[in-house]
Structure 1
C-alpha cells in the first residue's frame, strides 16, 4: 500500500512534487535514520554537513506526519517552560535546557537562508491572553525568556493586541519577534533537497519492519536492508508500535485538527492580523491561527487523545473560528485535516539511547517544529563525540503514561477536561 500526503492545503501547495524511490537494495552507511519528518531530516542534514554517510527510511512520504501537517508556527521553548523545568528538575537542568530554548527557531532561519528554502517564512508570533491571570503569566514568561537571552519580546495591552488582531476576546498578549511562521511541508521538502544535495539518501514507502541491534545495526524493510554504524529512531507519533517497545511505550499519539479558509481579500486578511504574525491563545487546550501566503486563514485547535480521527473536522474548528472572528461567518472552508503529535507524560521531549549505537528522539508534545530542529543538532554533536547537550535531555525521567496503552487516552482526556474547565473560568 502506498501512503501519500493527507489532502491538506500544504500538500496542495508544496514545491517538490516528485517522489523519492523505495528501498529495493542493500545499503551500507554510517547512520540510518528512521523517519523523514523534522527530527529525522534535521539530524540527517546536520550529520551530512559533518561528512557522515546517512540513509533515511520513510514509511510514507517526506513530511507525511506532523512535520507536514502542523500549524506552521515557530514557537520557542518547550511544551513546559523553563520555570516548570526548574521546579521539577532543578536549577542546573533548567539553566542548560534554557540556554537552548531559542536555538531551534534560529536553526530553521539559518536553514532557510543558507539553502534558499522557499517556505513562506514570516517573523513574529503573539501569545494572546484571554484573562488577567494569563496576562500575568505572560509578563512572567517575558522576564524569564529575557533572562535566557531573548530580547525581542514586547508586552501588549488590550489596545495593542486589538490593533494587531481583529478579535475582541483578548485582554493583552506577548509578541515574540524570535518566533514566526512557515509553510511546514515546504520547509521539510527543502531540507530533504538540501540533504540530497550533500549526498544523502532518502527512501520513501520504505517502512522499517525489523531492527537487529549489533555492530553494524541491521534495519530491514519490505524489499531492502540497511546496515549502519549508528541508528536514530525518529518516527514520533507515526512510528510503528511494534518496532521497538522501548521507544513507543512511554508516549501517546494525539490528534489535532486544522481548517483553512478560502482566500480572503487583502483588506480582510489585514483586518484579522494586521502585521501577519501567527497567534496562539494561552489556554491549556489552545487555539492557534495565522494567515497563509495567499491570505487564507489557517486555524487549528482541539486535541483528540489516542489519535482517533474525528468525524467532522469542520464542525470542530468552524465554531472556534467564529468565536475568534465572527466577521467570517460567511467564509468557506477549503481544506480540513487532522494530524498526530506525540504526547509524553511530562510534556518534555524524550531523547535517549536504547543500545550503545542506537538512539531515539521524540515526544515534543506540541512544540515539535523548533525543538525537532534542535534535536537534529544535538544528535549530530552526540555522534561526533560531544554528548553533553544531548545528555541534558536524556537525563530527564521518561515517565510511563498513566493507565498503560489501555487506559492512557481516556485518563489523559479526563485530565485535559479538568484544565479546560479552569481555562473557561480563568482559574
Structure 2
C-alpha cells in the first residue's frame, strides 16, 4: 500500500477515514483516474451537476503534488498572458485571459460552500530580486489589470521590507486575490464533498488498463469500471505505460520543501507580518510562507527526471538562510519532495484521446489554481459546452525532443541555462 510521504502536511492532516479499495465491477457516467486536484475538481463539479461519478486513486487522496506543494494560490498560468498573446494570438489570449483568475475563486468557493478547514489565508507576494524583475512586475500588474484583476498593489523596496523581514528584494507585487492553504486538507475536504454529493471514491486502486470504447472500461487489479466517459487526471504520477501518448508530451520534475520547527509567535510575525505567501521572480524560483502553527515552510529548486534527492537540506537551507539569516540554527522538522508535470510549452495540456476519454495534465508548477479551473471546464465540456475546454485543447502539445530517453538531459541543460540567468540577473 502506498501512503502519504512523511511531510508536514501528512503529519497535520485533518482526521479522515481511508476510502475502500475497488474489488467489484461498477458502472457509472464518468470514471475519474487520479485523486489529486484535477480529478477531485472534475469529480466535484460533475457530481454537483448530477453525474454518477467513480474516482480511482492509486494511493491515497492527495498523494501526489496536490498534497505536497507549497500551498500557494497563484493566479494565471506558468506562461503569463503576455507570452500567450505573443505566441498564440489575440483571440486565444482573450479566451485564456478571461479564465486567469477563475481557479482561485473556485477554491475560495469550495472552502466556503463545504466549510473545508485548510488554513486559508488571503494575499500573495511576487518579489523581485533586481531592477529587471521589478520592471517585469510593473508590466505584470498592467497585464493582469487589463484582464480584470483589480486587487493588485505594487510595493517598492522600502514597502516590501514592511511585509518581509529580508533585505533581498527590490520590490514586490501584492495580489490580494492570491493566498495560501494547507493543500492536503483542501484535497481531503474536496474528497469528502464528493462523497457527500453521492460520488464514489476508491483508494489503493491503481488503474492498470483503460479499454477504449463505448463504454470505456477502466481496469484495476481487483475490479473494473464501465463508464460513458473517462477523465485521465494522473499528472506527474500517471506513469508512462497507461497512456504512453500523454507521457511523450510531458516530463515529471521534482521540487523540494522543508518546514521548520514551530517558531515563537513573535518571531513568525516578524518574518511575514501580514502572513502573505511569497514567491520570487527567478526562473527557478523559491517560495515560502508561514503555516498555521507558526512554522516557516520553504521550497525551491527543480530536480529534473523526478529523482528524489537525499540532501534536501543542502539544497534548500542556503536559500532559506540567505532570505532569513536571522533564522540561523533553526531546526528543520520535515523535509520532502514532490513531483509536478512539466510541458515543453509550459502551458497546460487538455484534450481527448477518444471522443469519450479526456485528459488534463502538465500545469508546469501552476497546478493549484489551474487544476481547479480544469475541473470546471471538463464538466462544461461533458454537458455539451466545450468552448472553454477547447481553448486549451487547441493549443499545440509538443513532444520533448528525442523522446523520453532524452527528456532529462535536455531539460537539465535548460535548468542550467536558467540558473545562470538567475545568478546574472538577466
Q: Report the counterpart of residue 175 of structure 1 in structure 2.
A: 174
Structure 1 counterpart SS, 2:6: coil
Given the alignment of the two structures, is residue 277 of structure 1 paired with residue 268 of structure 2, yes or no?
A: no
Deviations along 1:130-158, one digit per CA (max 9) or x if unpaired, are 00000000000000000100000000000
The 2-side partners of 1:107 and 1:216 are apart by 31
Q: Report the counterpart of residue 232 of structure 2 in structure 1.
A: 233
Stretch deviating more after TM superposition (103-112 or 411-420)? 411-420
Structure 2 counterpart SS, 1:56: strand
Stretch deviating more after TM superposition (13-22 or 39-48)? 13-22
Alpha-carbon RMSD across the aligned residues, in angstroms, is 0.6
Deviations along 1:293-338, one digit per CA (max 9) or x if unpaired, are 0000000000000000102111211111101001111110000000
Provide runs of 4+ in structure 1 moved above 2 Å.
none
Q: Report the counterpart of residue 371 of structure 2 in structure 1.
A: 372
Q: Report the counterpart of residue 108 of structure 1 in structure 2.
A: 107
Q: Report the counterpart of residue 35 of structure 1 in structure 2.
A: 34
Deviations along 1:37-96, one digit per CA (max 9) or x if unpaired, are 000000000000000000000000000000000000000000000000011100100110
Once the two structures are TM-superposed, the CA of residue 16 in structure 1 deviates from its matched residue by 3.2
Q: Report the counterpart of residue 187 of structure 2 in structure 1.
A: 188
The 2-side partners of 1:378 and 1:246 are apart by 22
Q: Is the 8 A contact 1:23 1:206 kept in 2?
A: yes
- The number of equivalent residue pairs is 426
Deviations along 1:273-305, one digit per CA (max 9) or x if unpaired, are 110000000000000000000000000000000
Structure 2 counterpart SS, 1:136: helix
Q: Report the counterpart of residue 142 of structure 1 in structure 2.
A: 141
The 1-side partners of 2:106 and 2:16 are apart by 25
Q: Report the counterpart of residue 354 of structure 1 in structure 2.
A: 353
Structure 2 counterpart SS, 1:178: strand
The 2-side partners of 1:152 and 1:42 are apart by 25
User: Structure 1 regions of 5+ residues with no counterpart?
Assistant: none
The 1-side partners of 2:16 and 2:256 are apart by 24
Q: Report the counterpart of residue 399 of structure 2 in structure 1.
A: 400
The 2-side partners of 1:370 and 1:346 are apart by 18
Stretch deviating more after TM superposition (401-410 or 148-157)? 401-410
The 1-side partners of 2:132 and 2:125 are apart by 17
Q: Is the 8 A contact 1:210 1:220 kept in 2?
A: yes
User: Structure 2 regions of 5+ residues with no counterpart?
Assistant: none
Structure 2 counterpart SS, 1:85: helix
Q: Report the counterpart of residue 326 of structure 2 in structure 1.
A: 327
The 1-side partners of 2:126 and 2:183 are apart by 20
The TM-score with structure 2 as length reference comes to 0.99
The 2-side partners of 1:183 and 1:305 are apart by 25
Once the two structures are TM-superposed, the CA of residue 403 in structure 1 deviates from its matched residue by 2.6
Q: Is the 8 A contact 1:16 1:189 kept in 2?
A: no
Structure 2 counterpart SS, 1:143: helix
Once the two structures are TM-superposed, the CA of residue 387 in structure 1 deviates from its matched residue by 0.3
